[in-house]
């Protein structure tokens, strides 16, 4: 099946690899992102990907509603929704957490996922095999010291995904969550550097500490996450719904 896919934050990082993976199967993707320059580059680098939409901030409901409608129209329907948009948020203990920074993470990571999904459901109901893939995190199954907003939002994604699977199963729509561990790229470098600054350690020491908590001693390749998305959307995943799928090198704790 050549899927019609909507990917949020799909112009860079994990989202970009997801777009490329679906494009490689012959699918078409509608991509939104907050970075207009990255969207323009995506159009050039991945021919056939549809990004003809204004920049979308998923924390703004009006932006989301117009974006999803435009995406479904451009694609001629919608089969797969990948809620990838999210921000890492601050690194600080709860008592020192800036409430505005807390709210910012909730608005993007949790509310944004709700806004996009709510708008997409009417279109997914018209698909022969609708699929929702929500990006949670290793932080969605463990407590995460000094990362309370991020962890709380990612735990919320789990409850949201389970609820979606129950509500939408009768329409043939499946919903699953992917829980990546530390993913290779600039984002994890920034997170670890923030932790190093908070703990008075070095970046290398924080990398070693992160690897000590998982069996496979390497960061997750974004391409592997993309491959999992394609699998979940395929016929091979047709009986998988309501599941939380870690891809983290057998991590024993959030790191």
User: C-alpha angle 159/90/219, rounded to 5°?
Assistant: 75
Please indicate, yes or no, whether residues 123 and 177 belong to a single structural domain of this protein. Answer: yes
- ∠ Cα 217 221 224 (to 5°): 120
Question: Is residue 152 assigned to a domain?
Answer: yes
Q: Which of 115, 144, 150, 171 is catalytic?
A: 150
Q: Is 254 a member of any domain?
A: no
Domain range for 187: 182-219
Same domain for 212 and 147? no
pLDDT tens, per residue, the chain with 255 residues = 799 999 999 999 999 999 999 999 999 999 999 999 999 999 888 877 887 767 899 999 999 999 999 999 999 999 999 999 999 999 899 999 999 999 999 999 999 999 999 999 999 999 999 999 999 999 999 989 889 999 999 999 999 999 999 999 999 999 999 999 988 888 788 878 887 888 899 988 988 888 888 899 888 999 999 999 999 999 999 999 999 999 988 888 876
Query: Does residue 255 fall inside a structural domain?
Result: no
Q: How far apart are CA 42 and CA 17, in angstroms?
A: 11
204/192 same-domain check:
yes
**How many separate domains does the chain show?**
2
Quick one: 242 exposed, middle or buried, by C-beta within 10 A (0-12, 13-18, 19+)? middle
189 and 93 within one domain: no
- 113 and 213 together in one domain: no
Residues 110 and 205 in one domain: no
Contact 85, 58 (CB under 8 A): yes
Residue 103 sits in the same domain as residue 199: no
Residue 190 and residue 243 in one domain: no
Give yes or no: residues 43 and 130 share one domain: yes
Specify whether 159 is located in the same domain as 173: yes
Active site residue 150: yes
169 and 186 assigned to the same domain: no
Paired tokens of 236? 């091979």
Residues 250, 151: Cα–Cα separation, whole Å: 18
- Supply the pTM of this predicted model: 0.93
């Amino acid at each position: 099946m050549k899927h019609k896919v909507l990917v949020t934050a799909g112009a860079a990082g994990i989202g970009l690899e997801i777009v490329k993976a679906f494009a490689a199967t012959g699918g078409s993707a509608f991509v939104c992102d907050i970075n207009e320059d990255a969207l323009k580059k995506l159009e050039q680098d991945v021919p056939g990907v549809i990004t003809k939409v204004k920049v979308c901030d998923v924390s703004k409901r009006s932006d989301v509603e117009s974006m999803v409608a435009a995406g479904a129209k451009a694609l001629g329907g919608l089969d797969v929704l990948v809620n990838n948009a999210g921000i890492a948020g601050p690194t600080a203990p709860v008592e020192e957490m800036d409430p505005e920074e807390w709210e910012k993470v909730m608005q993007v990571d949790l509310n944004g996922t709700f806004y996009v999904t709510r708008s997409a459901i009417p279109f997914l109901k018209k698909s022969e095999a609708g699929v929702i893939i929500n990006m949670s995190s290793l932080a969605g199954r463990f407590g995460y010291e000094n990362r309370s907003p991020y962890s709380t939002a990612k735990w919320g994604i789990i409850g949201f995904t389970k609820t979606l699977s129950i509500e939408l199963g009768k329409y043939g729509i499946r919903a699953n969550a992917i829980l990546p561990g530390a993913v290779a790229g600039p984002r994890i470098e920034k997170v670890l550097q923030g932790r190093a600054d908070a703990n008075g350690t070095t970046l290398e020491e924080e990398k070693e500490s992160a690897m000590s908590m998982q069996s496979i001693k390497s960061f997750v390749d974004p391409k592997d996450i993309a491959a999992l998305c394609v699998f979940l959307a395929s016929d091979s995943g047709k009986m998988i719904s309501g599941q939380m799928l870690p891809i983290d090198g057998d991590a024993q704790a959030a790191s």
